Structure 1
Amino acid sequence: MGFNPKSLSNRNLSDYTGGCVRRTELLCGNSTAANQEKDRFWEIPNTRLPENPQSVAVGSAAECESSCLNNCSCTAYVYDTNGCSIWIGELINLEDGSGNTLYLRLAASEFPKRKSKKGIIIGAVVGSVAAVVLLGLVFVVIWKWQRSNGFAVC
């Protein structure tokens, strides 16, 4: 997700020692992207962290994420018992396997589109109104049927 091998000759290998490049450019600093979503993070659990982290003094995971988003060069972050660490530029020696969770920065377009809650709300309102109208029609039909068959109350 989000990356391709740098070298086309490595495309069919399971070894990406030549490195990888982004498929989609990040939106950070892009003035034409005003109406688009912000970059987001893909959670990679059970990761051996890459080399050369930079410590950032923050008080929470949300502040750590925000710190990375606000730095156009930030590629990933980790927030754990040791605090906040971010990576600038390439991730060197990122591997599976030691229990850490790394948050890799990707362009928002790399993620599936979020479903709109607006459509769900409109559907619920329309469905409710239709149910009330249908219930009213049933009562009117029953009332008229009772009057025409002599079942009027009085």
Structure 2
Amino acid sequence: MSGAAVRPGRADRAVLARTDGGEPVGMAYGYPLPASAGWWDTLIMPVPDRVSREDGHRTFGLFELAVRPAWRGQRVATAVHHALVDGLTQERVLLNTRPEAEAAGRAYRSWGYEKVGENRPWTGAALHDVLILVLTGKNPATR
């Protein structure tokens, strides 16, 4: 990551990457989805209950991952993502991404995410792909 440090934050889970001089270059944050999570309610086509079941401990929702343009292509996103999910106790990570964000989609797939559906997360929102990453060592049968 050439000159940037990644340090986990203190919220539910947050990571901020900075240069050696302290300039922010990338960030990510998320938190465990509650049992009452409405994420699954916005899918275009419903998924089986075994996929959408939440219990407050099963799924970590990755809500934002961003890298400043000048730092893209330098593996900052990979480092930030891995720092964010390293050590999670959840079975999986869930996120939304826009299909036209091709570079992000390629990165997510290279990290092991699989598309499970499409949604419009709020009224009037553009179509998003819904992706899940089953964490290493977790039971893939629970996807």
Please state which band the TM-score falls in when normalised by the shorter chain: under 0.3
The structure where helix makes up a greater share of residues is 1
